[in-house]
Structures are given as structure tokens and as C-alpha cells.
Amino acid sequence: MRYALATVLLALFVLAWQGVATLHSVDDLTLASPVETFEALRDDWSLLKDNAGVTLVEVVLGLAISTVAGVSFAVGMHLFRPLRDAAYPLLVGSQAIPVVVLAPIFVLAFDYGIGPKLAIVALICFFPITVNLLDGLRSVEPELLKLMRSMGASRLRTLRSVELPASLPFLFSGLKVAATVSVIGAVFGEWAGADEGLGRLVLLGNNQLQTPRVYAGIVLLTLMAVGLFALVALAERFACPWNRKEQPA
């Protein structure tokens, strides 16, 4: 039922898109119709596929880096109060940096390779992962912490047995947000300077007035984000099975 409804809405959206695109008042260079987009996907498939592969690697590696960094940072901030107090404003500030502006500077600093793309993806994804995990680590009831203390648990034991498992659902919430914004990060990185990648292809298509190819690239980028989100959601089901059922009061 869930999937049926989603499919219906998606179909309606594509229909509306087709309708708007065939209006005479809409310029073909502004909006490619779903049919044209599909044709571009079919005709340029090998080009799109190769470039999508490059972007996917940037996204997945960037996500991996930000996950490792975010988890370490959140745990460090949780265990060490002065670090949290000192670094929290910086952490929030990092999210306010306009990545569009930063991307060209990263390219200057790291050159044209994969480096600046990873840096930008990691910078964007770091915040939701760190903040969510930190909230999760702090979500444990004081009574439970008191009980652990009464049982003689060490700080690390409490972290391992109570705080980390309790914060897993929070971590996955952060990862879901990160998975979707990571693709945007990779595109920004490629726009600032790249030889390959879907973001670069879309930018190039825009300049060369190949509108259907631009839309085909956007469709693939969207699918990538949705696919990553679904993977994280699936991983969550396996990692936190207790979280699926309603808990009795």
C-alpha cells in the first residue's frame, strides 16, 4: 500500500512534468520533458554511467570519512565536557559556511582530483552525523546512568553497553540526512573544478544547451540520493531491530 501510493504520486508528478513541458510557452531549453529525458538516458547511457560512477565514489568515500570523523568527534565531545563546550560553536559554525563559496578554494588548495570533492562532501555530512549522535549519547535517562554507577560500571563500560546502543537510532537519523545531502556536496565539488562526474556533466550540458542530458543527470543524482537513503534505512532495520516495535510503557 505504501509503495502503491508512492508510485501513484510519482506517476502523477511525471505526467504533470510532461504536461508542463509540452506547453508552447515553455522553452525547450529550460525544461526537457520526461520523454526527452528518458531518450537522453538511453542514448547517452555509457557517458552518464561512467560519470555517475565517479560521483558515486566521491559520495560514498566522503560519507565514510564524515561518518568516521563524526562518530569520533561526537564520542570525544560526549566523554570530554570541555571539548564539547569549546567545539560546539565551531561545529555549528561549520554548517553555516556557504559550501558554494568554499568549493573553489578547496579546489585551489587540493587541486582538481578527488580531494576537494571528498572534503566538501565530508564537510556537509559531518554536521548531521555529529549532532545527531551527540544528542543520542545524551538521551540516556539519568536513572539508568545512576543504576550503571551503582553496579560499578566504568565510564567506558557505560558508553559501550548503554550510551552507544541507545544512540544508534539517532546516528541513523543523522546518516539519513547525510546520505541525501552528500550528493549535493559532490555536485558542488565538481562544479568548482573537475574533469569528470555527473555534476560536471550537468554543468557542461547546461553550457552546451543539451537540456535533456542535464535532466537525465539530475534524475540519476536524485536516484543516487534516494538509493543511499534506502540503504541507510535498511542498515538501520538490521542494526536496531528493537527500535521497530512499540515499547509498552
Told to check if 142 binds other proteins by CB under 8 A, we report no
When the beta carbons of 33 and 132 are compared against other proteins, the nearer one is 132
Euclidean distance between CA atoms 197 and 58, whole angstroms: 9
Told to check if 104 binds other proteins by CB under 8 A, we report no
Told to check if 93 binds other proteins by CB under 8 A, we report no
If one counts every other C-beta atom within 10 angstroms of the C-beta of residue 234, the result is 10
Helices (H) and strands (E) in the chain, counts: 11, 0
Told to check if 143 binds other proteins by CB under 8 A, we report yes
Q: What are phi and psi of 98, to 5 degrees?
A: -70, 110
Told to check if 155 binds other proteins by CB under 8 A, we report no
Euclidean distance between CA atoms 96 and 73, whole angstroms: 18
Of 8, 92, 144, 233, the residue at the interface with other proteins (CB under 8 A) is 144
Task: Specify the long-range contacts of residues 140-144, CB closer than 8 Å, at least 24 apart.
Answer: 140/166, 140/167
Of 149, 223, 227, 237, the residue at the interface with other proteins (CB under 8 A) is 149
Q: Minimal distance in Å, beta carbon 232 to other proteins?
A: 19
Q: Which of 93, 70, 74 is nearest to 182 (CA)?
A: 70
By CB under 8 A, how many residues form the interface with other proteins?
24
**Maximum distance among all alpha carbons in the chain?**
75
Told to check if 148 binds other proteins by CB under 8 A, we report yes
Q: Minimal distance in Å, beta carbon 133 to other proteins?
A: 16
Q: Which of 95, 67, 78, 90 is nearest to 174 (CA)?
A: 67
- Window contacting other proteins (CB under 8 A); options: 83-91, 105-113, 155-163, 186-194: 155-163
Told to check if 161 binds other proteins by CB under 8 A, we report yes
Of 42, 146, 155, 237, the residue at the interface with other proteins (CB under 8 A) is 146
Told to check if 245 binds other proteins by CB under 8 A, we report yes
- Window contacting other proteins (CB under 8 A); options: 3-11, 124-132, 136-144, 210-218: 136-144
The secondary structure of 130-185 as a DSSP string is HHHHHHHHTTS-HHHHHHHHHTT--HHHHIIIIIHHHHHHHHHHHHHHHHHHHHHH
Of 165, 184, 191, 231, the residue at the interface with other proteins (CB under 8 A) is 165
Told to check if 75 binds other proteins by CB under 8 A, we report no
Binding residues vs other proteins (CB under 8 A): 141, 143-144, 146-154, 157, 161-162, 165, 168, 240, 242-243, 245-248
